[in-house]
Structure 1
């Protein structure tokens, strides 16, 4: 009896990842040169609750299949599907050094020791690994090495999960830079299992609307009060507030928005300003290169914020970043969807914003339980 011929394996397959909001993220499962890689397409299927939703999903799948076909053509033509440049053959640890230098040029000198420590561990794990070698398997292996093998230099104890997550975060950020520079077409770090390195999640402290009103009504130094409240109504990080210039404040057809390159991610943020936020902009517009706000040093800022909160009767450990949490929570509470809020905050993905949605859900549950108390 003749042996049945085994069909050739397909090098690229479309896969789906279930999201918490009910949508499905579409990604490609690519097998090339004995390595498995994943390309997340940033295309999503939505629940088919209507004819319009079904039609939208049909168009989305056509787009995904078109990309899949192109990747198969690339593989057939011996073109690596994820590497766009000869720089992809550079060692990962060398690219990490380039990434560190760029961060220093962008004013992030404080990150140098941590990035250097990341490079030290990468040298121990796989010093010869090239950018084009980095895939989900490589990163999962690095996480396993950091969890089970690596030891701290001083105490010879295993690394804390928080530290491991930080190191992986720097690698993923460096790979994002490689994508931005046209060296890679997709960041393989987006496919790693974050649960394996998830440390204890910090509680997101935020101000309620009533607490914001208390702060508005309480006197405080103008160079602290004004920028803090501005951030409460737009969500801008402290670092971006310090570097905000008048050229970043765009007025068109009676509306005002910000165009800011975020210091943390390097991505552009296009942020429309509410009338409330605009009310905290200085009345007199300065020159293009002039800074919009003059914010005191962080040490002074922290002291003044805490005194202000105490004077206002806000019983929370007020810090500047709480303004960003306040904006996010306020937006979701007032009905903004998760994706829109994610865009306003400048998050790379909706998953980062999901933590605020959980806060709002908890608030809703607490509100419902108040009814029970009426009938106890």
Structure 2
């Protein structure tokens, strides 16, 4: 049963009983701290033990009460010892976050990830201020930032549009996933660095990732595009080159002739991915090589004049429509096209992953979902169930 009262209370938290008018017993905690006493009623009750079921119910009730008591003991001890010199809860949150951003900026393999960290920083700078310390990073603060991401406008640090206006664009679900995960990583690191004594993220769920539909072109549609004139030849060449190599638009924009070499019978592209900083060696086919055009000086851009933006996207979509293709195509769809084309031709997923420069095989496996050939082959093996006459 509950602990009996004593003249000298040795523990800061005691489990007590209070008899109620209906005969039941209410359980509460008698908490003593810094010369002050407080009561916390648990809304747990013991009933008269008239049978085995009642005794079992009381046993479970007491177990619950003891668990709450143990939790309160830990909380009191944490409050007493956690804010010592061992922890640095007065550290400014934004300064700490920026240092984590800078580490990723300096790491060549984290360039793409650094962009997401930097984007998240823009929203954190609006949500809190420069004087915010880790002492203020509570579960409520974190939930507040999560709600902020739910309601804030995309690129709000650049725009003045208001919620409710026709131009208002919320953050995409996957952007919210990314930004909340950056905050999570920062707080987890602060916990590891003994900046904070407890992790306020415990029990808080992030956003759920949604699967994005990946539009791509079939081989017949690529042929249609190749046969259709484009107002800007460098746009046509760069897009079809991406379809045949899988290079990202950011790597095509900066590709120089010095990165295009001969390697035996192949033409090889030797470059560093702009997104990840990884060194890549990509052998291309003679068909893809044709879209490079006439070779220039090593320092010159291969696709001179190509710069991706809203205007380029508009021209790309005009060209696609003129080819009779009604899909919603962006430049990145060329990379999707290459991935699906390779898988559909039977290339193993590991090789496709290397061709795309992916760090993790799981990234490439997303493309496998849109390839139906193996599934079609599998169901085609089902024998005929009809009886022959």
- What TM-score, normalized to structure 2? 0.53
Which residue pairs with 2:83 in the alignment? none
Asked if structure 2 preserves the Cα contact closer than 8 Å seen for 1:258 and 1:271, the reply is yes
SS in 2 for 1:319: coil
Asked if structure 2 preserves the Cα contact closer than 8 Å seen for 1:211 and 1:314, the reply is yes
Asked if structure 2 preserves the Cα contact closer than 8 Å seen for 1:248 and 1:258, the reply is yes
* Residue 324 of structure 1 pairs with residue 335 of structure 2: yes
CA radius of gyration, larger in = 2
* Residue 244 of structure 1 pairs with residue 250 of structure 2: no
Which residue pairs with 1:179 in the alignment? none
* Residue 289 of structure 1 pairs with residue 299 of structure 2: yes
Distance 1:367 1:217 in 2: 32
Which residue pairs with 1:302 in the alignment? 313
Task: Call closer, same or farther: CA 1:312–1:166 in 2, change over 3 Å.
Answer: same
* Residue 167 of structure 1 pairs with residue 173 of structure 2: no
Asked if structure 2 preserves the Cα contact closer than 8 Å seen for 1:100 and 1:112, the reply is no
Partner deviation per Cα, 1:266-300 (whole Å, 9 max, x = no partner):
22222111222112111x32111110002155233
Distance 2:321 2:221 in 1: 11
Which residue pairs with 1:7 in the alignment? none
Which residue pairs with 2:97 in the alignment? 93
SS in 2 for 1:200: coil
* Residue 338 of structure 1 pairs with residue 342 of structure 2: no
Distance 1:273 1:169 in 2: 37
SS in 1 for 2:271: strand
Aligned CA-pair RMSD: 4.5
SS in 2 for 1:250: strand
Task: Call closer, same or farther: CA 1:164–1:325 in 2, change over 3 Å.
Answer: same
Structure with more helix by fraction: 1
Distance 1:243 1:325 in 2: 20
Distance 1:354 1:255 in 2: 28
Distance 1:143 1:211 in 2: 47
Written as runs of structure 1 = structure 2, the 5 A alignment for 1:99-118 is 99=103, 112-118=118-124
Q: Where does structure 1 lack aligned partners over 5 or more consecutive residues?
A: 1-90, 130-141, 175-194
- State the shift of 1:197 in Å: 3.7
- State the shift of 1:200 in Å: 2.1
Task: Call closer, same or farther: CA 1:101–1:334 in 2, change over 3 Å.
Answer: closer
Which residue pairs with 1:279 in the alignment? 290
Which residue pairs with 2:211 in the alignment? 201
- State the shift of 1:225 in Å: 0.7
Written as runs of structure 1 = structure 2, the 5 A alignment for 1:172-183 is none
- State the shift of 1:336 in Å: 1.3
Asked if structure 1 preserves the Cα contact closer than 8 Å seen for 2:101 and 2:118, the reply is no
Written as runs of structure 1 = structure 2, the 5 A alignment for 1:226-265 is 226-265=237-276
Which residue pairs with 1:80 in the alignment? none
The structure 1 residue matched to 2:364, chosen from 329, 337, 353, is 353
Q: Where does structure 2 lack aligned partners over 5 or more consecutive residues?
A: 1-94, 136-140, 153-161, 164-169, 187-204, 383-389
Asked if structure 2 preserves the Cα contact closer than 8 Å seen for 1:143 and 1:164, the reply is no
Q: Which moved more, 1:224-233 or 1:163-172?
A: 163-172
The structure 2 residue matched to 1:214, chosen from 192, 201, 224, is 224
Asked if structure 2 preserves the Cα contact closer than 8 Å seen for 1:143 and 1:197, the reply is no
Distance 1:224 1:215 in 2: 12
- State the shift of 1:117 in Å: 2.3
Distance 1:217 1:275 in 2: 18
Distance 2:362 2:125 in 1: 27
Task: Call closer, same or farther: CA 1:296–1:151 in 2, change over 3 Å.
Answer: closer
SS in 1 for 2:280: strand
Distance 2:286 2:330 in 1: 24
Distance 1:288 1:92 in 2: 42
Task: Call closer, same or farther: CA 1:146–1:160 in 2, change over 3 Å.
Answer: farther
